Amino acid sequence: MGKVIVVTSGKGGVGKTTSSAALGAALAQRGEKVVVVDFDVGLRNLDLVMGAERRVVYDLVNVIQGEAKLTQALIRDKRLETLFLLPASQTRDKDALTPEGVELVMAELKRVFDWVICDSPAGIERGATLAMRHADMAVVVTNPEVSSVRDSDRIIGLLDSKTLKAERGERMEKHLLLTRYDPNRAERGDMLKVEDVLEILSIPLIGIIPESMDVLRASNIGAPVTLADARSAPAMAYFDAARRLAGEVLPITIPGEKRGLFGKIFGRRAA
């Protein structure tokens, strides 16, 4: 049985879709069978980030409504043969998702794949709650700023009450993925510090993804950053996060902290 991970945040624009694609591609490069499911019905983006927008025929809503078989809707990545995408529908809205339909799809995906990564829409409504409903573990994507942190806190509360796992009285495993971390701004003190975010959210950290042009460049060419430029700083951080998701224990480095005096001076000037 595969593991279901929900990538969620509450707030929009913090990097859920980028992180879903990057973690999915990182796990698939370990040889494990991965499907990334877009729950953002009506505002789908994951197909673009994964470079599959011209290959979408059937989608999650078609499968839920019985208009297509799951195998017809799944899109295999052209670069990684163990990576699949289940796209959302762009022409429908979140009401097209039914709890029963999502349950059937998730059960089937869990049977076939090692990892089912659910890319949640922003917000705390139907789309987001259905994306988290069947999760075994959660990746909470947070930017180091107060509104993102508070929204993440709200989502953690929902993960602990509205998921099947919580309703069965089990503990939902939650991991914090800090994205868009800018070492220069952190140094100047105009961004929340890593330890402050951890103190507020009090869930374990699985990675700090530095703010980088590489992420934007990867999105624009339609490739997860872990495929587009595997040696870039954000890609390396995503690879480490994927290893931690798979259960490995690795020390976490805060970007920018290893720099020497020269780097600090350079960093200040550059900012």
The nearer residue to other proteins, 190 or 199, going by C-beta atoms, is 199
The nearer residue to other proteins, 55 or 150, going by C-beta atoms, is 150
The nearer residue to other proteins, 109 or 155, going by C-beta atoms, is 155
| Contact positions with other proteins (CB under 8 A) in 169-228 | 199-200, 202
Shortest spacing between CB 130 and other proteins, in angstroms: 18
The nearer residue to other proteins, 146 or 216, going by C-beta atoms, is 146
Q: 16 labelled as ligand-binding? A: yes
Helix (H) or strand (E) holding 183: helix 183-188
The one-letter code for the residue type at 245 is L
Q: Where are the alpha helices (DSSP H) in 35-134?
A: 46-49, 60-64, 70-73, 99-112, 126-133
Shortest spacing between CB 205 and other proteins, in angstroms: 16
Look at the block and give the residue holding tokens 């042009």: 213
**Token output for 35:** 């499907």
Residue 242 CA to chain centroid, in angstroms?
11
Q: 8 labelled as ligand-binding? A: no
**The only residue of 103, 108, 145, 153 in contact with other proteins, by rule CB under 8 A:** 153
The nearer residue to other proteins, 140 or 209, going by C-beta atoms, is 140
**Token output for 14:** 């913090």
Q: 11 labelled as ligand-binding? A: yes
Look at the block and give the residue holding tokens 């022409």: 91
Shortest spacing between CB 171 and other proteins, in angstroms: 10
The one-letter code for the residue type at 55 is R
- Strand-pairing partners, residue 142, are 178
Q: 256 labelled as ligand-binding? A: no
**The only residue of 160, 173, 187, 214 in contact with other proteins, by rule CB under 8 A:** 160
Strand ranges inside the chain, DSSP E:
3-8, 34-38, 75-76, 83-86, 115-119, 137-142, 173-181, 205-210
Shortest spacing between CB 260 and other proteins, in angstroms: 33
Is residue 12 at the binding interface for other proteins, with CB under 8 A as the rule? Answer: no
Shortest spacing between CB 207 and other proteins, in angstroms: 22
Nearest CA among 27, 14, 31, 13 for reference residue 5: 27
- 24, 53, 100, 204, 271 from 199: Cα distances, Å: 28, 40, 37, 10, 27
Q: From residue 68 to residue 97, what is the string marking binding to other proteins with x (rule CB under 8 A)?
A: ------------------------------
Q: 110 labelled as ligand-binding? A: no
Shortest spacing between CB 141 and other proteins, in angstroms: 16
Q: Please compute, for residue 177, the number of CA atoms within 13 A of its CA located in the half-sphere on the CB side.
A: 31
Q: In angstroms, rounded to a whole number, what is the distance separating the alpha carbons of residues 149 and 11?
A: 9
Q: In angstroms, rounded to a whole number, what is the distance separating the alpha carbons of residues 108 and 106?
A: 5
Q: 31: how many CB neighbours lie within 10 A of its CB?
A: 9
Is residue 150 at the binding interface for other proteins, with CB under 8 A as the rule? Answer: yes
The nearer residue to other proteins, 54 or 171, going by C-beta atoms, is 171
Positions that interact with other proteins (CB under 8 A): 150-151, 153-154, 156-158, 160, 199-200, 202
Q: Which residues sit in the known binding site for ATP?
A: 11-18
Q: Which residues sit in the known binding site?
A: 11-18
